[in-house]
Structure 1
Amino acid sequence: MTARRSRHRSAAYAALALGLAGSLALTGCNSHSSKKSKKSSSSSSKSKKRKIIGGGAAAAGAGAASRRVPDCYPSTYKVTFSQQTGPKSHVAVKFKNSTSRDCKLYNAPLLRFDNAKRPLPLLQGTPGHLDGTRITVPAHGYAYAVIPTNTAATKGTEQKSVAIDFMGVSASSVTHGPATVDFAEKRLHISVGKSKVTNWSSSIHGAQLAGGVDK
């Protein structure tokens, strides 16, 4: 009887040991699988974040490119001239941005009257020695420059035409132009002598002030 009980107990212990071993093995597998799942999930999450960040950077770059302001271009209908008489006599140069985008102008217009070899000197410096003045002309907006002609020497004689160049980002560079305006064709009477031209300004008053001919 005692021997039979001993055999039963041994068999029970063996079964219990096998059950515990199987349970531990299953737990280990589940734990390992869980870790793998977490790692996979974390890797997927990081990948998604990288994609989102990369996409955001690309979108920001595209936005910056779309906001880049182009240079303004001269043409016979975008640049007009008018002569003002009296003690504060001057020639007003007006540029119209006829596009639907902003554009930028640097320093002053370069004006060669009657096929002159050199452009009119600049009142606020000479090309290559300017401070890089730049203005942004809004879509369908205007910019102005002034040529003082309030003395006999600066008024000089009536001109037939003018060739217009626009400066580039460097004060000594000319990148856009020339455009030629025929005064006779437009029935304009423009007299310019030994004068100088101001930098571009966002308002006619600002240009007149710079030229010393403000009213």
Structure 2
Amino acid sequence: MTARRSRHRSAAYAALALGLAGSLALTGCNSHSSKKSKKSSSSSSKSKKRKIIGGGAAAAGAGAASRRVPDCYPSTYKVTFSQQTGPKSHVAVKFKNSTSRDCKLYNAPLLRFNNAKKPLPLLQGTPGHLDGTRITVPAHGYAYAVIPTNTAATKGTEQKSVAIDFMGVSASSVTHGPVTVDFAEKRLHITVGTSKVTNWSSSIHGAQLAGGVGK
């Protein structure tokens, strides 16, 4: 009886040992699988983040490109002239941005009256590459320049036409032009002599002050 019980106990212990070993093996497998799953999830999350960041950078680049301000273009209907009389006589040059986007103007308009070889000198000096002025003309907005004609010499004689170029950053660069305005065709009486033209300004008052003919 004692020998049988001893054999039964030995068999039971052996079965128990096998059961425990199998359980531990399963636990190890599950743990390894869980770690793999976590790594896979982390990698997927990082990939999504990279995609989102990359997409954001592309969108920012596209936004910056769309915000670039183009140069303004002259035309016979965008640039108009009017003569102001009196002690502070001057010719007002008005540019209209007829587009739905902002545009930029550099320095001053280059004006050649009656097919002159050289444009009217600039009242505020010759612009360089670094000290040139630039203004942004809003969509459907205006910019102004003034030619003082408050003395006999600056008033000069009546002009027939004017060719207009839009200046670039420096005095030697031109962005767009020329276009020619025929004063007789537009029934305008514009008298200009040995005068100079101011830089572009966002307001007529600012241009008049720059030309010394402000009210």
Q: CA deviation at 1:130?
A: 6.5
2:98 is paired with a residue whose SS is coil
When residues 178 and 17 of structure 1 are mapped into structure 2, their CA distance, relative to the original with a 3 A threshold, is: same
CA contact (8 A) 2:128 2:169 kept: no
Partners in 2 of 1:3 and 1:130 — Cα distance?
Answer: 109
CA contact (8 A) 2:109 2:166 kept: yes
When residues 195 and 130 of structure 1 are mapped into structure 2, their CA distance, relative to the original with a 3 A threshold, is: farther
TM-score normalised by length of structure 2:
0.96
Partners in 1 of 2:4 and 2:12 — Cα distance?
Answer: 12
Q: CA deviation at 1:64?
A: 1.5
* Corresponding position of 1:17: 17
1:195 is paired with a residue whose SS is coil
Q: CA deviation at 1:60?
A: 1.3
Question: Which aligned segments of 4 or more residues in structure 1 are displaced greater than 6 angstroms?
Answer: none
* Corresponding position of 2:52: 52
- Percent identical across equivalent pairs? 97
Deviations 1:150-205 (A, max 9, x none): 11111111111111011124453102000100111111111111111000001100
Partners in 1 of 2:32 and 2:173 — Cα distance?
Answer: 69
Partners in 2 of 1:168 and 1:126 — Cα distance?
Answer: 12
1:175 is paired with a residue whose SS is strand
CA contact (8 A) 1:112 1:119 kept: yes
2:186 is paired with a residue whose SS is coil
CA contact (8 A) 1:73 1:176 kept: yes
Aligned residues: 215
What is the root-mean-square deviation in Å for CA atoms of aligned residues? 1.2
Tell me, which stretches of 5 or more residues in structure 1 are unaligned? none
- Is 1:145 equivalent to 2:145 in the alignment? yes
TM-score normalised by length of structure 1:
0.96
> Mean Cα displacement is larger for which, 21-30 or 123-132?
123-132
CA contact (8 A) 2:78 2:97 kept: yes
CA contact (8 A) 1:143 1:203 kept: yes
When residues 129 and 195 of structure 1 are mapped into structure 2, their CA distance, relative to the original with a 3 A threshold, is: farther
